[in-house]
Amino acid sequence: MGLRTIRELGDEILRKKSKPVKEMTPRLSTLIDDMLETMYSAEGVGLAAPQVGVLKRIVVMDVSEGRDQPIVMINPEILETEGEQTGPEGCLSVPGKHAEVKRAQKVKVRALGRDMNPYELEGEDLLARCIQHETDHLEGVMYVDVRTGPLLDNAAEEEYEEEEDGTEEKAGS
Ligand code: NI
């Protein structure tokens, strides 16, 4: 187990398409453990393998309040989308920034778990947003490409929120 370095916007690897996982290996199992540890350590809600420099179709997420409900998606495929939501989105590969992004409100995804057994997952709101954000990473797409508003500085926003006594938090993935 160990923390991996998170690649940042401008790193070519983030722009490449990741390859499907054919079989679970000890190496990939360690990668998944490390990705979870890295995501929790960075206080993100999701992390995709290319963000730690590995071009494999692997995503980890946890949108729970208690940070105790990890989800592992291998070779995820979005099967259905429904509705629309627009809200602030951040990314661990674009530290200190966020922007408005329009996403589907609800998605249904099929993936393999870390045991390589297929499962389906339906998500709404933040989970739906996270699934779409992370599967985009596997295609080399970043939220800054699909954002619907300007790229904003979190620090400026936090200052504003303190003045307004706001408590909204920006989730990075
Ligand atoms: Ni991201």
Residue 17 Cα to ligand 1 middle (Å): 14
Greater confidence, 162 or 156?
A: 156
* Interatomic CA distance for residues 68 and 57, integer angstroms: 23
**Beta carbons of 94 and 145 less than 8 angstroms apart:** no
Residue 155 Cα to ligand 1 middle (Å): 19
Residue 91 Cα to ligand 1 middle (Å): 4
State the pLDDT at residue 155: 86
Greater confidence, 159 or 119?
A: 119
Catalytic residue among 89, 134, 139, 158: 134
158's CB contacts (< 8 A; 6+ apart) are none
Q: Is the pLDDT of residue 28 over 70?
A: yes
Is 120 a known active-site residue?
A: no
pLDDT digits (tens, 9 = 90+) for 42-84: 999 999 999 999 999 999 999 999 999 999 999 999 999 999 9
- Lowest mean per-residue pLDDT among 65-69, 111-115, 149-153, 159-163: 159-163
- Confidence bin at 87 (pLDDT 50/70/90): very high
The one-letter amino acid code at 23 reads E
State the pLDDT at residue 156: 76
All domains of the chain in start order, with CATH: 12-165 (3.90.45.10)
Residue 167 Cα to ligand 1 middle (Å): 22
72's CB contacts (< 8 A; 6+ apart) are 32, 36, 58, 59, 60, 113, 114
